[in-house]
Structure 1
Amino acid sequence: MATNAKTSTVEDQRRGQDRILAIVAELLESEGYDAVQLREVAKRSRTSLATIYKRYANRDELILAALHEWMAENRYSGLADQTVEPGETLYDGMMRVLRTIFEPWEQHPAMLTAFFRARAAPGGQEIFRRGLDTTAPAFMQVLSGVDETFIRDLDTILSTVIYGLLGRFAAGELAIKDIVPSLDRTVYWLAAGYEAAGRTEARD
């Protein structure tokens, strides 16, 4: 009986935590980053403020937890099924992965704004690192056999371009639907340059 009671308590806590994070994600998407206030989250999730503070030290930590959960369910869910297609070019493979990553953002632009703002908050670097760790296996499948120096340069260039595009989107300078086409052009020229360099080396 004691074991069953303990299991029930753990399950109740997990359901409570899931409900809290779901409320935060709902607020981020429907009302925006600034709408996430701990008292409002407690009210909507029918949870005490003390319980929320017990689990999350502050508002930033709560938002980051909700974003981690949302991204795992939405942004990265399709990556596990990614496989290299026969005859797929470097450009085609990279864009396949990038489209899989950005499709949920296009459907939920407010969450992308929240992600960009959260990245600048205390502990925000962790959300970016975890994203890189999650997407790396899909990219490395595409980049199998590619020169390591190019991969390092590619990582630097793409991460810089993506961060710049997200910043412009968050500032209202770029539409959500313009992000992937901008990445498409960047990847096209990077892949074309790499392949041209390979042909030059082969002739020499």
Structure 2
Amino acid sequence: MASPAVPPPADSDGLDRPAQRARRERILDAAVALGSEGGYDAVQMRAVAERSGVALGTLYRYFPSKVQLLVSAMAREIDGIRLPSAERMAGLTPADRILAVLSRATKVFQRDPNLAGALVRAVMFADASATAEVDQVTQRMNSIIIRMMRGEDGDPTPRDIAVAGLIAKVWFVSEIQWLSGRTKARQVIDDLELVVRELVH
């Protein structure tokens, strides 16, 4: 199971941590299902509570707002991106490894436009109350890119970190443009390839 984007809150009902995590996963599953069915507007907190089988008050203890809930769901989706095997990574350049992962991430998001739109809108709407959740999304995406960039070759340099952040921003902006109909799906990959091959050698 992927690490949670935000640690679950302490419960007053005496449930142990595995039970809390299981409940949190059910809540995220419900939010993702509703987002997939009807996009951002379909993810209503009462509907999430009903579908996940938790009380509305319990839901708000885990996720104080819809935005925090959906941004946490996006962090979990990023955690689920399948990375190349060690054997395949060994045969690819750093740029090729990054592009392989970002292509997979792009295909996953574009396969479900309703859900992608819900998750991206949540990140765009996030204010200071969702800083921790947005930071988790950023850290997860940057971490994947840095891992593909460096492989097992020690700690990242300041330039590696800056480049990873820039590539992640290009990916996110490209997804926004695709969701708004301003660019085609294939163009997202083409733009990423241009940026990655320019920055990563």
- Shift in alpha-carbon separation, 1:149–1:21, aligned structure 2, 3 A: closer
CA distance in 2, matches of 1:150, 1:49: 45
* Structure with higher helix content: 1
- Select the residue among 109, 120, 138 that pairs with 2:113: 109
**Contact 2:78–2:105 (CA<8 Å) still a contact in 1?**
no
- Select the residue among 158, 174, 191 that pairs with 2:167: 158
1:181 matched residue in structure 2: 190
What code does the residue aligned with 1:158 have?
I
Could you state the TM-score of these two structures normalised by the residue count of structure 1?
0.69
- Select the residue among 140, 143, 159 that pairs with 2:150: 140
Q: Where in structure 1 are there 5+ consecutive unaligned residues? A: 1-7, 196-204
CA distance in 2, matches of 1:135, 1:55: 29
- Select the residue among 12, 15, 18 that pairs with 1:9: 15
Q: Relative contact order (C-alpha < 8 Å, sep 6+): which is higher?
A: 2
What CA deviation, in whole Å up to 9, does each residue of 1:26-80 have, x standing for no partner?
A: 111121012111111112222211111122222222222222223323x2xx226
1:35-114 residue pairs with structure 2 within 5 A? 35-73=42-80, 75=81, 78-79=82-83, 81-82=85-86, 83-86=88-91, 88-89=92-93, 91-114=95-118
CA distance in 2, matches of 1:36, 1:14: 21
CA distance in 2, matches of 1:133, 1:90: 14
CA distance in 2, matches of 1:159, 1:19: 28
- Shift in alpha-carbon separation, 1:45–1:186, aligned structure 2, 3 A: same
- Shift in alpha-carbon separation, 1:94–1:61, aligned structure 2, 3 A: closer
Q: Where in structure 2 are there 5+ consecutive unaligned residues? A: 1-13
CA distance in 1, matches of 2:20, 2:141: 26
Could you state the TM-score of these two structures normalised by the residue count of structure 2?
0.70
